[in-house]
Structure 1
Amino acid sequence: MGNGERYLARVDGRLLRALSHPLRVRILELLREDGPATASGLAKRVGESSGTTSWHLRQLAEYGLVTDDAERGNRRDRWWKAVHEGDQLRAKDFIDDPDLAGPFSVYAHTLIEQRYAAEAQFVAEMRDWADEWMDKVEFHDSPLSLTPDEAAALSEEVLDVISRYRRRAKEGDTQVRVHWAAFPRKSRPETP
């Protein structure tokens, strides 16, 4: 894993169509974060039937996003694992294409909902975390005045920092979720 080709799936129009279903995005997220699973195990976690999750897993496999976990399972229990650790896409690749603008919107909204759910889950479980984590957790929101080029440079720098910390898990690690977004906002000042 780590840096390089294994880490990111470069999302093109073909992959975007596969990821434009919220349940597929959720299944893929669970496989990426919690490791290999069966269709029935995933079904319990997402509140669907194993037939439904099995069908979506086969769709994800067809697009090269998940594969059989050869180290687990048998003919009766098929285990699946994610092929990549994350996705990389740029809105500009899809937003002007009338056939892809809809799937992009569904995928982007699904990601935002999942980010919110992850942060809300942490806040709900905050008391469960050891004291050693409490002064390390950071929520940050900063409005900045930037040009488009400055915003792109900022994102590049942040992603470089994240890349420096990417490595295989080792004993003593805790999985940490990092969200990054930099986007413009229309100013709506109050008028007299």
Structure 2
Amino acid sequence: MKDDEPAHEQPYVLDDPERLKALAHPMRRRMLTLLNLHGPATSTTLGELLGAKTGTTSYHLRQLEKYGFIEEIPERSSGRERWWRRTRVLRDMRAPHPDQLAPGDRAVLEEFHRAGFEEDRALMERFPAAYRADPGWTWGSRGLVRMTKEELKAFQEEYVALLLKHAHQAEDAPPDARPLYVRLFTLPADADAVPADALPADEG
């Protein structure tokens, strides 16, 4: 844990459909990733990296600022050139439970998940080549376990706390630290279970 960080960070729940909508846009998601990877940037530099017009990136940056995902760096901005960085305090963002949204807004939550898992699918496709190139920096884990809902919730909280404990901000990372994509998700396995009467008969 870093000296200037609280012992326990409060989760930032995205229960505002407009905030969810802001993060469901593919270009905004890529912009946030670039700001995480490369640090502060202007609309011009982001446009060059994304192959987009500066007016387009400026619009999306303003949307991200509006909902608190990025902030301007006043001391680096001058004239029409504005520098942006990720908001430091938003390290533990979580999707809301569907019941926290009005029924008419739940489609936004589904789009938010769809956009995120499209990115995850692309990362998974890169995994074999990344592991072959540098297994020391590439790790994956799979399993099938049994937990109660309360135990799964406790596991989630301990996992997030462990991740934040070992994660560095870009400005305080040691020289040999690298940015890493980290993913974890769980799904109920019994939804895929084969009915007992569909299993082959025991011929023993």
Decide: shared fold, TM above 0.5: yes
CA contact (8 A) 1:94 1:100 kept: no
Q: What per-residue deviation string (whole Å, max 9, x for no partner) do you get for residues 10-44 of structure 1?
A: 42314223223222222122212321112122223
Distance 1:164 1:23 in 2: 29
> Could you tell me the percent identity over the aligned residues?
26
CA drift of 1:127 comes to 5.8
Alpha-carbon RMSD across the aligned residues, in angstroms, is 2.9
Distance 1:34 1:48 in 2: 18
CA contact (8 A) 1:43 1:53 kept: yes
Secondary structure at 1:181's aligned position in 2?
coil
CA contact (8 A) 1:95 1:101 kept: no
Distance 2:48 2:10 in 1: 27
Instruction: Identify if the C-alpha distance between structure 1 residues 8 and 142 changes in structure 2 by more than 3 Å, giving closer, same or farther.
Output: same
Distance 2:19 2:141 in 1: 31
Instruction: Identify if the C-alpha distance between structure 1 residues 141 and 125 changes in structure 2 by more than 3 Å, giving closer, same or farther.
Output: closer
Structure 2: state its 5+ residue gaps: 200-204
Say which one has the larger Rg: 2
The alignment status of 1:105 with 2:106, answered yes or no, reads no
Spell out the pairing of 1:53-64 with structure 2 (5 A cutoff): 53-64=57-68
Structure 1: state its 5+ residue gaps: none
Secondary structure at 1:81's aligned position in 2?
strand
CA contact (8 A) 1:68 1:79 kept: yes
Partner residue of 2:45 out of 35, 41, 45: 41
Task: Report the equivalent of 1:163.
Answer: 164
CA contact (8 A) 2:98 2:106 kept: no
How does the TM-score come out when normalised to structure 1?
A: 0.79
Distance 1:9 1:117 in 2: 26
Distance 1:6 1:70 in 2: 26
Distance 1:187 1:109 in 2: 21
Partner residue of 1:92 out of 87, 97, 101: 97
